[in-house]
């Protein structure tokens, strides 16, 4: 596993001794699209590092989702890591958006490594910075942007994540992820389509090429 290019790129700066410990304790696993990785209230057993794919991290309130951030290739989960300093209990849900490959490190081992290999803190500080920015963007979007802007940003984000334009998204899926109703999303999408911001076909929702930019 040490020869895995992802591992060398991500952890190589920590040296051969750390890589040897990583090989003893970590596992690489495949996660199918739409698979739930962790749910709120479960005990975190692993800190995940995403090798490829995409993972959605969110909370639920009355059955509606509020997305905190997406984990992309080469990223880790801030919420999972932070739990090792408290009770190891997850406060979020995490679901694979597409077929993904994940490196899993036991949380108890990570806790020990923070002392044995203090340089690893640099890696987690970097992850904190990225995830904090994602959460701030989410808050700004929810507070300051109208729903039509949030819907368009969500579609653009999905196009960026999947590389597909048009992208297959149901009205219910968009509504769930933005914390609103399917009927409201349907009206917003129809308005956006009439204004030329999107087009809806059997292949999915398409954003014109010159509009395919994610807004923060």
Do 15 and 107 lie in one domain? The reply is yes
pLDDT exceeds cutoff 70 at 149 = yes
**Per-chain mean pLDDT for the chain:** 84
Do 11 and 113 lie in one domain? The reply is yes
**pLDDT tens digits for 73-131?**
888 887 787 777 777 888 889 999 889 999 999 988 988 898 999 998 888 887 777 77
Looking at the DSSP bridge assignments, the partners of residue 89 are 43
**pLDDT tens digits for 41-79?**
999 899 899 999 989 898 887 777 778 888 888 888 877
Answer whether residue 149 is part of any domain.
Answer: yes
Do 181 and 83 lie in one domain? The reply is no
Distance, in Å, from the CA atom of 110 to the CA atom of 44, rounded to the nearest integer, reads 12
Domain encompassing residue 9: 5-117
**pLDDT tens digits for 15-28?**
999 999 999 999 99
Q: Work out the angle between the directed axes of helices 147-162 and 182-194 (0-180°, nearest 10).
A: 80
Q: Identify whether the C-beta of residue 97 lies closer than 8 Å to the C-beta of residue 55.
A: yes
Answer whether residue 29 is part of any domain.
Answer: yes
pLDDT at residue 1, rounded to an integer:
56
From the number of C-beta atoms within 10 Å of its C-beta (0-12, 13-18, 19+), residue 20 rates as exposed
Q: Identify whether the C-beta of residue 70 lies closer than 8 Å to the C-beta of residue 56.
A: yes
The residue with greater pLDDT, 187 or 146, is 187
Question: Total structural domains in the chain?
Answer: 2
pLDDT exceeds cutoff 70 at 186 = yes
Answer whether residue 123 is part of any domain.
Answer: no
């Amino acid at each position: 596993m040490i020869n895995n290019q992802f591992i060398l790129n991500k952890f190589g700066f920590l040296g051969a001794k750390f890589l040897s410990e990583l090989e003893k304790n970590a596992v690489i696993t495949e996660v199918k699209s739409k698979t739930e990785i962790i749910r709120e209230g479960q005990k975190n057993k692993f800190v995940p590092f995403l090798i490829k794919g995409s993972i959605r991290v969110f909370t639920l309130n009355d059955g509606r989702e509020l997305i905190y951030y997406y984990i992309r290739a080469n990223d880790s989960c801030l919420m999972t890591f932070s739990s090792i300093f408290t009770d190891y209990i997850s406060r979020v849900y995490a679901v694979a958006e597409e077929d993904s490959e994940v490196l899993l490190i036991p949380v108890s081992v990570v806790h020990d490594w923070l002392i044995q290999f203090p340089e690893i803190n640099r890696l987690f500080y970097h992850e904190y910075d990225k995830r904090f920015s994602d959460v701030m963007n989410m808050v700004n979007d929810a507070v300051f942007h109208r729903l039509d802007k949030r819907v368009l940003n969500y579609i653009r984000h999905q196009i960026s994540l999947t590389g597909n334009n048009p992208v297959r998204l149901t009205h219910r899926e968009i509504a769930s992820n933005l914390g609103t109703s399917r009927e409201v999303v349907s009206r917003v999408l129809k308005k956006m389509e009439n204004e030329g911001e999107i087009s809806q076909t059997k292949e999915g929702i398409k954003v014109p090429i010159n509009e395919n930019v994610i807004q923060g």
